[in-house]
């Protein structure tokens, strides 16, 4: 058990410090604001009743998200250690909790950088004029496949992924993806090689760049035809949809993944703060920035989706008009020619009109077509951008924005690994920080080659669905329990009051003791009841494999590790 006396300041005199408070806030904001704010939050709003989704979102944010966020910042600032030594310091039996955070951070960084590799590939191809996904190729044998689908689908699934038919058919490495992945890891290594000294400086570019481009998209998106339809769809609440338990589960998982809870990056970042620092204000401010960024990003996204729905609606009407023109040999028909439509609703032509099997053109139907993740960025947006004036410019800006958001987040993931590893007495004695960072990036790159195979997209979807969701919730639950009941709430409250130099509000104590653990426990129960995803049917052998793998990983992370790893410090 840890002693009640804080460690002497001389032990931390060699520890790096942030250049400024602004650099620290910028780094934390860059860590928590990532790709999910742009391509998952708008999708959840679209799926669960528009503005009504904010009810479960804000509820879980207040009861679980912000209190755990504050706790991680406070405990890191107080004990000034990485995750492994920090939890071992509180109790030797909690040492495995730090290893769990490290392992999850490493696994997530392995596949997360593959997303950046795909983004980099699209960014490079955005300089080609015309855009390569604007039409089907003419020099391949797969042109028939493209015409049966769409050019954007063809470019994504065949030209980029060259995807196999199933996860068992791996195929060879795709050299263009290997090169992009290597370039991404080289960028990450350069920006994290010196720890926060280099990461903090890189954040001066990546974080503002994302917001600047997002603002440009906001301004331009509002001027697009049909943008108002997308915004009305986003802002109109449908309260019936939040009766679905899945809405509350998805809101909670979005909060925990978006705030990057459980990774250990927040603990690592805050451990480089001075002992006297208002971490309470920091927690509220950064969490607010994260949520407001999600809302801010939703406006241009829904404006663009409204534009896409309007274009699709008008194209549907045009196809109907062409069919009628051909059938009735009328040359003066337009979409707005209502007199024509009425004139053929009587007489003998009604049967001929019915035989045409015209499409039911409904704007609401096109607005309801939801998509998230890679589908939003690499299929939907690429389809929209070719219809926008200056398509190359907007494609370049869009993928530059995604890359800036993603690379800022992976800086925090690498720091989650680098800080506890370099604090190990053996590692710090024989290996310099630069070499440790290089080994982390190299090993992650080699493991990430799995996602550069033809079956890589299947593996990435599994890692994304199961690797960075429930393990983080379990880690966060044990973090709160460890601080509240092992370290002691009275003792921790006194430490926080010294750091923020004012009395701690009773709200935080109530959250840490009762509401936050209770909320996370309810989320876990919902997860058990609502899961598994529909993509894994019970008769599918992959589903059985998934269950056994999942149970083994959870047992290993949270039972074997706490008993096996009790580092001597």
CA distances from 30 to 197, 251, 377 (A): 15, 21, 20
257 is in an annotated binding site: no
Token pair of 525, please? 């129960």
Cβ-based neighbour number of residue 250 at 10 Å: 22
Token pair of 396, please? 């370049």
Among 198, 188, 193, CA closest to 434: 193
Asked if residue 130 has a cis previous peptide bond (ω within 30° of 0), the answer is: yes
212 contacts: CB under 8 Å, gap ≥ 6: none
Specify burial of residue 415 (Cβ count, 10 A radius: 0-12, 13-18, 19+): buried
244 is in an annotated binding site: no
409 is in an annotated binding site: yes
380 is in an annotated binding site: no
Instruction: Give the SS3 label for residue 313.
Output: helix
**Contact call for residues 20 and 204 (beta carbons, < 8 A):** no
The vertex-517 CA angle with 511 and 518, nearest 5°, equals 95
Residue 56's H or E segment, with its range, is helix 54-60
Token pair of 11, please? 């032990």
258 is in an annotated binding site: yes
Q: Return d(Cα 438, Cα 190) in angstroms, integer.
A: 9
The DSSP code sequence of 69-89 is HHHHHHHHHHH---HHHHHHH
Report DSSP state, residue 453: B
Instruction: Give the SS3 label for residue 173.
Output: strand
Q: Residues annotated as binding site?
A: 30, 33, 37, 258, 290, 405, 409
Q: Residues annotated as binding site for Na(+)?
A: 30, 33, 37, 258, 290, 405, 409
């Amino acid at each position: 058990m840890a002693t009640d006396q804080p460690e002497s300041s001389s032990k931390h005199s060699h520890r790096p410090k942030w250049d400024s408070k602004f650099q620290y806030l910028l780094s934390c904001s860059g860590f928590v604001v990532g790709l999910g704010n742009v391509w998952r939050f708008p999708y959840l709003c679209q799926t669960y009743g528009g503005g009504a989704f904010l009810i479960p979102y804000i509820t879980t944010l207040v009861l679980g998200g912000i209190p755990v966020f504050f706790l991680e910042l406070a405990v890191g600032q107080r004990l000034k250690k990485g995750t492994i030594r920090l939890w071992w310091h509180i109790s030797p039996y909690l040492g495995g909790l730090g290893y769990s955070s490290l392992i999850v951070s490493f696994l997530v960084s392995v596949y997360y950088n593959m997303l950046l590799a795909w983004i980099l590939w699209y960014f490079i191809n955005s300089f080609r004029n015309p855009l390569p996904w604007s039409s089907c190729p003419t020099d391949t044998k797969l042109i028939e496949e493209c015409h049966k689908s769409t050019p954007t689908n063809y470019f994504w699934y065949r030209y980029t992924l060259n995807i196999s038919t199933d996860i068992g058919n791996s195929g060879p490495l795709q050299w263009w993806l290997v090169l992009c992945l290597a370039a991404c890891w080289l960028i990450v290594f350069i920006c994290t090689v010196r720890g926060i000294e280099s990461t903090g400086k890189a954040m001066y570019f990546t974080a503002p760049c994302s917001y600047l481009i997002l603002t440009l998209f906001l301004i331009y998106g509002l001027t697009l035809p049909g943008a108002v339809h997308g915004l009305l769809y986003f802002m109109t609440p449908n309260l019936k949809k939040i009766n679905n338990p899945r809405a509350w589960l998805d809101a909670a998982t979005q909060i925990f993944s978006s705030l990057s809870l459980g990774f250990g990056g927040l603990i690592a970042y805050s451990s480089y703060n001075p002992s006297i620092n208002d971490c309470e204000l920091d927690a509220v401010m950064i969490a607010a920035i994260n949520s407001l960024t999600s809302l801010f990003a939703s406006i241009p996204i829904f404006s663009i989706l409204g534009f896409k729905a309007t274009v699709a609606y008008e194209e549907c009407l045009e196809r109907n008009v062409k069919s009628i023109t051909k059938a009735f040999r009328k040359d003066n028909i337009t979409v707005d020619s209502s007199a024509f439509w009425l004139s053929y609703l009587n007489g003998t032509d009604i049967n001929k009109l019915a035989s045409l099997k015209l499409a039911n053109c409904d704007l609401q139907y096109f607005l309801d077509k939801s998509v998230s993740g890679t589908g939003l960025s690499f299929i939907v947006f690429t389809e929209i951008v070719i219809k926008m004036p200056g398509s190359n410019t907007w494609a370049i800006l869009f993928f530059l924005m995604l890359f800036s958001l993603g690379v800022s987040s992976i800086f925090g993931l690498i720091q989650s690994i680098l800080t506890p590893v370099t604090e190990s007495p053996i590692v710090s004695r024989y290996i310099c920080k630069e070499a440790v960072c290089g080994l982390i990036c190299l090993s992650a790159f080699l493991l990430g080659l799995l996602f550069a195979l033809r079956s890589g997209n299947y593996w990435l979807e599994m890692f994304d669905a199961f690797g960075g969701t429930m393990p983080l919730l379990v880690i966060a639950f044990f973090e709160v329990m460890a601080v509240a009941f092992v370290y002691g709430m009275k003792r921790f409250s006194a430490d926080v009051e010294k750091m923020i130099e004012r009395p701690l509000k009773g709200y935080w104590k109530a959250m840490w003791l009762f509401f936050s653990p209770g909320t996370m426990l309810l989320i876990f129960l919902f997860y058990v009841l609502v899961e598994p995803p529909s993509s894994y049917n019970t008769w599918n052998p992959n589903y059985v494999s998934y269950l056994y793998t999942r149970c083994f990983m959870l047992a290993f992370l949270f039972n074997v590790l706490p008993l096996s790893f009790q580092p001597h410090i």
